[in-house]
Amino acid sequence: MSHNIKEIALLAGVSKSTASRVISGKGYASAEVRERVLSVVERLQYKPNAVARAMVAKRTHDIGVIVFRDRQPIVSHPLYGKLIDAILMAAEARGYSVFLKTDQEMSLRSTDYMLERRVDGLILISRLRKNVIDYVKKFNLPYLMVNGSTDDPDVIHLVSNDEEGGERAAAYLHGRGHRKFFVIAGPQEHRSHNLRLTGFRRGLDRFGQIEAAEVVYSSESDFEYGSRLMSAHWEAFARGGYTALFTTNDMLALGAMKVLQARAVAVPGQVAVMGFDNVAYAGMHTPSLTTVRVDTDSMGRDAVDMLDRLIRQEEDLPKLIEYASELIVREST
């Protein structure tokens, strides 16, 4: 079926040591021998077996990416999809391949899987309980967290500055003259949603407007629930004289807007709407959505970069990288 280095060596009339030296490009080999070996390689279309290489090198050049949420389509997730893309491209650039798994935070199945595959390192994405980290720590495996929450000071983690972003959103809307805010907040056990709300409130507080926000909570943070919550609280919303709607992510905003448009509420005419994340679709919607950008490109790139340095045993890596939030003003406000 597939050739091996012994065959190549035989046909080139050299030992497999010599063939190996030519093919891997390290060690001595005379020009004549080199040429002979390479011509056999070319003729037989020999592809060195990466599995065997990984075996002896004790290095797979693979990294594992685990996204902790219920096992679901993950690539299509509007935010994590962007992040995964960034990780994929950065990994490719550094010579790593990626194993992608989704897992529930209580399960350690995918972690075990990554350990068996002997990945060189692990990127853990999204909320996860302490049990996962404790588990990973037991194995001598480089890892870091992206967009998760932990109070463990040992853990390297990369996060967006959600609190600052929430505050910035409040300041912006207040600056546009809004004084009554309706807020749809995603699950509060989720670090991002929690901090965005906290930040938003703190922003209002700064203007003495802490009373001005009415908050409703959603157990999920997708389009569907955005619509559902807006519908459920429609009466209160319509009576309350709110001029601005803030949600803790874009998909909630988009879902809520769908309801507003169905009820003929003009956006931004009657109500300004603002989300968070800057998912791709936010800019395509009509009206396009004002939001706070999460820099998934940098997060993905840096995650791979940091992990690579961790794998190469570099010292003195920062424990925490935080990404500044950036306001993206569009048509919806």
Residues that bind DNA (CB under 7 A): 2-6, 13-18, 20-21, 23-24, 26-33, 46, 48-49, 52-53, 55-58
What is the separation of C-alpha 150 from the centre of its chain, rounded to a whole number of angstroms? 16
Residue 263 in contact with its own copies, rule: CB under 8 A: no
Alpha carbons 144 and 87: distance in angstroms, whole number? 13
Is residue 83 within 8 Å of residue 125, measured between CB atoms? yes
Element of type H or E holding 21: helix 16-24
Q: Please give the full DSSP string across 39-64, using - where no structure is assigned.
A: HHHHHHT----HHHHHHHHT---EEE
Query: What are 194's two structure tokens?
Result: 């929690």
Q: What are residue 123's phi and psi, to 5 degrees?
A: -115, 120
Q: Report if residue 258 touches its own copies, rule: CB under 8 A.
A: yes
Residue 17 interacting partner from its own copies, DNA, none (CB closer than 5 to 8 Å by kind): DNA
- CB closer to its own copies, 76 vs 177: 76
Query: Which of DNA, its own copies, none lies near 215, with the C-beta cut-off 5 to 8 A by kind?
Result: none
When the beta carbons of 80 and 323 are compared against its own copies, the nearer one is 80
Coil/strand/helix, residue 296: helix
Q: Provide, rounded to whole angstroms, the least separation between the CB of residue 65 and its own copies.
A: 11
Which of 22, 204 has the CB closer to DNA?
A: 22
List the structure tokens of 232. Answer: 């459920």
Task: Check binding of 320 to its own copies (CB under 8 A).
Answer: no
Interface residues for its own copies in 131-160 (CB under 8 A)?
138-140
Report the 10 Å Cβ neighbour count for 189: 10
The residues of the shown chain that bind its own copies, judged by CB under 8 A, are 1-2, 45, 47-52, 54-55, 60, 71, 73-76, 81-82, 84-86, 88-89, 92, 97-101, 112, 115-118, 138-140, 223, 254-255, 257-258, 261-262, 280-281, 284-286
